[in-house]
A and B are shown apart, each in its own frame.
Chain A
């Protein structure tokens, strides 16, 4: 039956791979962290002892109680099954260790909007600018400035965003004092849709967004440029020019449109991958997003928070990829035909 319906087989294969890959990644990460020789509960109970000067009996009952709270009791297999049950059936990611007893879902819920804002604004800005400049660089590739822009983009694309962030913080933040260097907004403004808050929000986010945009726009410029260059020989472009259409029109309607599909899919995949946030950028700019939470969770081996964030990241990347895989045959008839012919 599968051989007779190749399109169905394709979709089924993609969904099966999706489920299996998420499960595999989830399991490997779970065991990887639990098998590390760390014991956060013991360390924490000991620190409690120190704080309360041993007025509370900190015997094994307390350790067991906390172990139960965090799901660390029982064998590794039991822990795994219990955790899977909690996450999938009860949608409960467990309490967070560093912010006990706040459940992890709540913590992530508080921080996710910040990361989404930061990453979303950066990626979309970089995409738009990259598409524009890539189009120009590819179209006018004989000109000297196109080559210069290309080389500059190659240079820029390899630098990790936080290194650029260091330069920006140093010069624009400290030396020139133009932008604030930490936090998401000034604490004195009430959160809401008033102009001071929004202004403060934008001002604080300028440097982190600039760091990410500078680095990612280069990659978009380069990929758009290559795509446009491969289109340059096409007949329909010659025809459009022969008809007498303005160059800007031709660029936009014939050039860019055809390069859009791969770039749009790449955008979706990039947005999916942005969920884990740029951890180092958030730490550098002390931005209250998921990355900053992740760094503290790693430090204290807060398993629940760690797994929660990693799960979110795995899930969003795979889902974006799956959506693209499912939509592509619908959007692009050439691929649909290729699948059916296979």
Chain B
């Protein structure tokens, strides 16, 4: 916690990233308040509720799209879904990655070799074709399912980072001191290593979230997004199918990527901000 406060004070990048992210998350959380009055009780993803291609009006601040949905609702629901999938998949990937990386780094030896080889194999396999293959096979995907599939290929990165950090921390003097004074393994893990690992866990989380969202956009853009919700990637896919390029539908085509870029930017700035705060200390640690 102190680490986060210090990063805030230290880095303008961090402040900017956090502010933008908080604003986006607030919009996503308050989204139902905005679109419920417009569309009533139906799911935001349901097509054909309104007439298609209505121009902007008081009932539809941005008009309607080619599938008969309110456009403003499209963007709000898209933001919600993308943020949910990103954070959920990022959380899953980071959790699994931390556990695997920690065991691998702390135990060392044969377990480490086995785990790291498995991790490397997963890293080598090009994730995208398999992602597409898996999503093709499942006809009705909920947001959670998509998040699970996406997290499958994100955890190796976190595992690697955590493992490298744990391996270098193991050799630190304070750990040796703890061992010499007779602290048990579990106590060492929780009191000495975990607190120092926390910044890296947070950075892995931010990184995995971005990766998860990029992957989700990657499959949504070719039409394989979640079946019961709209995501920003799916909006890009829809815009393409409505001939947005030739008809000049700037809003439908370009606003989803712009929102996505904002999300990625804010998470990356948060990461860089934390990294810059850590950097003076990083130079004393010998990575392996």
Contact = CB atoms under 8 A, between A and B. Distances in A.
B283 to A, nearest CB: 8
Contact of A166 (B136, B257, B269): B257
B35 to A, nearest CB: 25
21 contacts: A22-B124, A25-B121, A28-B121, A29-B125, A29-B130, A33-B133, A36-B133, A36-B134, A36-B137, A154-B272, A158-B210, A158-B265, A163-B217, A166-B257, A170-B244, A175-B248, A295-B132, A298-B129, A306-B129, A309-B129, A314-B124
B124 A32 contact: no
A47 B155 CA distance: 40
A20 B218 CA distance: 30
A160 B124 contact: no
A167 B245 CA distance: 10
A301 B132 CA distance: 11
Interface in B198-233: 210, 214, 217-218, 221-222
Contacts of A65: none
B253 interface: yes
Nearest to A20: B117
Contacts of B134: 36
Contacts of B133: 32-33, 36, 298, 301, 306
Contacts of B236: 166
B160 interface: no
Contacts of A283: 222
A17 interface: yes
B136 A298 contact: yes
A170 B121 contact: no
Contacts of A29: 125, 130
B136 to A, nearest CB: 7
A173 to B, nearest CB: 8
A314 B268 contact: no
A142 to B, nearest CB: 16
Given A22-B124, A154-B269, A276-B128, 11 more contacts: A21-B117, A21-B124, A25-B125, A37-B137, A38-B137, A158-B261, A163-B217, A166-B253, A169-B245, A170-B250, A174-B248
Contacts of B121: 21, 24-25, 28
Contacts of A170: 244-245, 250, 253-254
Contacts of A33: 130, 133
Say whether chain B's binding surface is mostly helix, strand, loop, or mixed.
helix
Nearest to B130: A32
Interface in A97-143: none
A313 interface: yes
A276 B126 contact: yes
B209 to A, nearest CB: 11
B245 A314 contact: no
A299 interface: yes
Interface of B: 13, 117-118, 120-121, 124-126, 128-130, 132-134, 136-137, 210, 214, 217-218, 221-222, 236, 244-246, 248, 250, 253-254, 257, 260-261, 264-265, 267-269, 272
Say whether chain A's binding surface is mostly helix, strand, loop, or mixed.
helix
The 6 residue pairs across chains A and B that have the minimum distance between CB atoms: A158-B264, A24-B121, A163-B257, A158-B268, A25-B124, A276-B126
Given A21-B124, A155-B265, A163-B260, A280 B117 contact: no
Interface string A189-225: 0000000000000000000000000000000000000
A21 B117 CA distance: 7
Interface string A4-26: 00000000000001001110110
Interface in A304-337: 306, 309-310, 313-314, 317-318
Contacts of A32: 130, 133
Max count, chain B CB within 10 A of own CB: residue among A20, A163, A317: A163
Contacts of B125: 25, 28-29, 310, 314
Contacts of A280: 218, 221-222
Nearest to B264: A158
A158 to B, nearest CB: 4
A146 B246 CA distance: 39
Nearest to A155: B265
A294 interface: yes
Given A170-B254, A174-B246, A276-B126, A295 B214 contact: no
Max count, chain B CB within 10 A of own CB: residue among A162, A283, A301: A162
A158 B86 CA distance: 15
Given A36-B137, A298-B136, A17 B117 contact: yes
A155 B271 CA distance: 12
Contact of A174 (B126, B136, B245, B265): B245
A170 B251 CA distance: 12
A151 interface: yes
A154 B218 contact: no
Given A160-B214, A162-B221, A170-B254, A24 B268 contact: no
B238 to A, nearest CB: 13
A245 interface: no
A309 B126 CA distance: 10
A208 B114 CA distance: 40
A159 interface: yes
A279 interface: yes
B257 A167 contact: yes
Nearest to B121: A24
